[in-house]
Amino acid sequence: MKIVAICGIGIGTSAILKVNAERALDRLGIDANVTASDVASVAAVASDAQVILTSSELVGAIGKTNADVIVIDNYFDLDEISAKLEAALG
């Protein structure tokens, strides 16, 4: 399974989300490859992704995708990330 964490222009915020998503997936016992990317590269990076993690501000910039788009409000909240991933993947 492939999950892409995206942020606006760099990879700083998406890297934080990537690490915390990996921690949440570990808690859930789900094996997945998590990649960090910026929104400009999302079409190429997420073409084969099952899930895209992002903020509400960037949802409109993602464009057409077959992936489930999950909005994360607090990139540091492992409980929120775990609950949303479990709901989408469980």
Contact indicator for 85, 25 with CB cutoff of 8 Å: yes
CATH architecture classification, 2-82: 3-Layer(aba) Sandwich (3.40)
The CA distance from 45 to 38, in Å, is 9
The count of other CB atoms within 10 Å of the CB of residue 86 is 14
- What confidence tens digit (pLDDT) does each residue in 46-86 have? 899 999 999 999 999 998 899 999 999 999 999 999 999 99
- What confidence tens digit (pLDDT) does each residue in 3-48 have? 999 998 767 899 999 999 999 999 999 999 999 999 888 888 989 9
Radius of gyration of the chain (CA): 11
pTM: 0.93
Contact indicator for 5, 14 with CB cutoff of 8 Å: yes
Residue 23 DSSP symbol? H
